[in-house]
Amino acid sequence: MKTLFVSVLLLGTYYSYSQIPNNSFEHWSIVEGIEEPDGWFSNNTQSHISVQKTIDAYSGDYAVEIISNGPSFEGTAPGWVETTVFPETQFNRLSLYYKCDSLVAPAVGKITTASWINGSTNIVGAFEISQLNSMYELLTIPLSLNEIPDSLTISLTAKTINNGVAYIGYAKLKFDSIYLDYSTGINETLNYLTKIRVYPNPANTILTIDLPEETVDKEISFKLIDLGGMVISKGRININKEIINIQNISKGTYIIQLSSNDIFSNKKLIISVCL
């Protein structure tokens, strides 16, 4: 099985702004008997604590830990924390450091940014964490914003699924050092990542990743991830047409995650039985 890894450098100029309150989760207060991160709002209750501080931090003394323990009589309901900011300048990405300590499918970690512009709300950035990682990793999420919004609401969730009877799955995540910024290179990166072809789909014995001409001098990596969050294969794409042997991988639905310059693009892949 091919196992490679690539770390990429950020291209383009970016300007970092600290408009997110308590963005490193260093400050906590007791609110009605429950400890909460200052400037953030959670779904903690006296009987269900899903958001708490942890000394396992990327930087500083504390980070926030979120588990699937929301208020419900139907199992492991999602736990979440969110904050709202009022930008004074243009942003096009949200960056943060995260760890995923525990993940039981179909649960995922989810980061969502919603904008409020002229009385209308829209999701302008989202990412699902579907694999375990024992050390903090930097995650950068593009934001689809063409103007300065009236407000942005940032939500961090240990998300489970209700199957009609009960919530199923479980997630435990940590987040730290979250910030909004602007990068001049992000739109270019998104443009060429979305042009990468992955075929055939469904696939059975081999998978081809075909790079467009404009990616010749780019550093691009891939991960093949199952729906339980396990990385099945990962590697650096060194040629314009990368061939991956998947004949020993079980049939099912997977995610191909392509990344460059800390920007990610996910594509769904089905692996079928070889006839």
pLDDT of residue 188: 63
Q: Say which residues have a Cβ less than 8 Å from residue 22's Cβ, sequence separation at least 6.
A: 37, 38, 39, 40, 83
Kindly tell me if the per-residue pLDDT of 36 is higher than 80.
Answer: yes
Distances from the Cα of 16 to the Cα of 6, 93, 179, 181, 230, angstroms = 25, 10, 7, 5, 32
Mean pLDDT of 142-151: 87
Question: pLDDT grade, residue 17 (50/70/90)?
Answer: very low
Q: Say which residues have a Cβ less than 8 Å from residue 28's Cβ, sequence separation at least 6.
A: 35, 36, 37, 38, 53, 62
Integer Cα distance of 255 and 266 in angstroms: 6
Residue entry with tokens 């942003």: 91
Integer Cα distance of 166 and 243 in angstroms: 42
| DSSP per-residue string spanning 183-232 | ETTHHHHHHHHHT-EEE-SSBSSEEEEE--GGGTT--EEEEEEETTS-EE
Span 159-184, pLDDT tens digits: 999 998 999 999 999 999 999 987 65
pLDDT of residue 184: 59
Kindly tell me if the per-residue pLDDT of 96 is higher than 70.
Answer: yes
Element at 29 (helix H, strand E):
strand 28-31
Contact 100, 109 (CB under 8 A): yes
CATH 2.60.120.260 residue ranges in the chain? Answer: 14-183
Element at 266 (helix H, strand E):
strand 263-271
CATH 2.60.40.3080 residue ranges in the chain? Answer: 187-271
Question: pLDDT grade, residue 19 (50/70/90)?
Answer: confident
Integer Cα distance of 44 and 35 in angstroms: 9
Q: Say whether the peptide bond before residue 202 is cis (omega within 30 degrees of 0).
A: yes
pLDDT of residue 101: 96
* Fold exhibited by the domain 14-183: Jelly Rolls (2.60.120)
- What class is the 187-271 domain? mainly beta
Kindly tell me if the per-residue pLDDT of 40 is higher than 50.
Answer: yes
Q: Is the pTM of this model over 0.95?
A: no
